[in-house]
């Protein structure tokens, strides 16, 4: 197949392909590509040293920094998608659910709309674990309040897990929810009299935030992580063991 055809299958127009080849960004095997018309096997093509994503779905995790919006675009602020390199931006990845601008930690981004939908749908009850730092001393009574379901002005939250990690003038706890309404964790802590100081998401279902990722960094999910997410949302079509 022609090299520009292979690049177009990965989302690049013919003129973009020519410009990338001219700048030496495209290799075929170990050698720099010579022309847009050269004959290639798509699996041998590399752009900036990486193989191209053709039609397969892409699954990433990002360690979202504070100040970044969980959206594909925003008029004035950086978004989780704008932090990705161009080759991922053109794959039209979308974030799975939202974190508030000041909340940090695990965000999944994928082209797989069906999986994304199920991970945020209350029906599949995907667990999300957060590390919360709040004002005041958390007690066993607060753990019970979360387990019973905190009453908010417009709804009662589903029972949630709370594990207190430190309790003093400020406290730290891991909380686990199976729903994700607007500002939910902040509202639940405010409702039990412990306003949040900071919030970080650590886990979605079986996928934990990779601690080696600096704020703003991302990596592809492993095959095991993708399979785990697909199993928990009844989308796994491989061999059942």
Q: Cβ closer to ligand URA: 28 or 199?
A: 199
> CA nearest 113: which of 126, 124, 97?
97
Q: Do strands 161-166 and 170-177 pair parallel, antiparallel, or not at all (unpaired)?
A: antiparallel
Residue 204, φ and ψ in degrees, nearest 5 = -130, 115
* Minimum distance, C-beta of residue 199 to ligand URA, in the bound complex (Å): 6
In the numeric block, which tokens belong to residue 206? 């079986």
CB atoms within 10 A of CB 86: 11
If the CB atoms of residues 45 and 120 are measured against ligand URA, the closer one turns out to be: 120
Question: What's the closest the beta carbon of residue 143 comes to ligand URA, in angstroms?
Answer: 18
- The single residue among 99, 107, 115, 119 that binds ligand URA, judged by CB under 6 A, is 99
Q: Let me know if 100 is a catalytic residue.
A: yes
Shortest separation between residue 221's beta carbon and ligand URA, angstroms: 20
Residues in region 168-187 near ligand URA by CB under 6 A: 180, 183-186
Q: Shortest CA distance to 26 belongs to which of 1, 7, 54, 5?
A: 7
Which residue's Cβ has the minimum distance to ligand URA? 185
The minimum distance between CB 181 and ligand URA, in angstroms, equals 8
The residue behind tokens 């979202």 is 64
Q: 137 vs 198, which CB is nearer to ligand URA?
A: 198
Q: Are strands 218-220 and 59-64 parallel, antiparallel or unpaired?
A: antiparallel
Interacting residues with ligand URA (CB under 6 A): 99-100, 103, 180, 183-186, 199
């Amino acid at each position: 197949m022609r090299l520009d055809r292979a690049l177009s299958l990965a989302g690049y127009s013919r003129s973009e392909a020519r410009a990338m080849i001219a700048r030496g960004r495209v290799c075929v095997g170990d050698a720099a590509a010579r022309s847009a018309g050269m004959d290639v096997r798509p699996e041998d093509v590399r752009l900036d040293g990486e193989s191209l994503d053709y039609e397969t779905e892409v699954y990433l995790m990002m360690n979202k920094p504070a100040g970044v919006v969980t959206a594909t675009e925003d008029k004035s602020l950086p978004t989780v998608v704008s932090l990705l390199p161009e080759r991922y931006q053109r794959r039209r990845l979308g974030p799975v659910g939202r974190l508030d601008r000041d909340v940090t930690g695990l965000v999944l981004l994928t082209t797989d709309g069906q999986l994304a939908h199920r991970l945020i749908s209350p029906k599949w009850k995907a667990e999300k674990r957060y590390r919360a730092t709040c004002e005041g001393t958390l007690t066993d009574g607060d753990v019970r309040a979360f387990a019973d379901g905190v009453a908010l002005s417009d709804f009662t939250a589903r029972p949630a897990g709370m594990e207190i990690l430190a309790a003093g003038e400020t406290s730290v706890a891991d909380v686990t929810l199976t729903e994700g309404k607007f500002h939910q964790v902040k509202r639940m802590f405010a409702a039990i009299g412990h306003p949040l100081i900071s919030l970080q998401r650590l886990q979605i279902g079986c996928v934990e935030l990779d601690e080696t990722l600096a704020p703003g960094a991302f990596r592809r999910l492993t095959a095991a992580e993708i399979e785990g997410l697909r199993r928990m949302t009844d989308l796994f079509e491989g061999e059942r063991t």
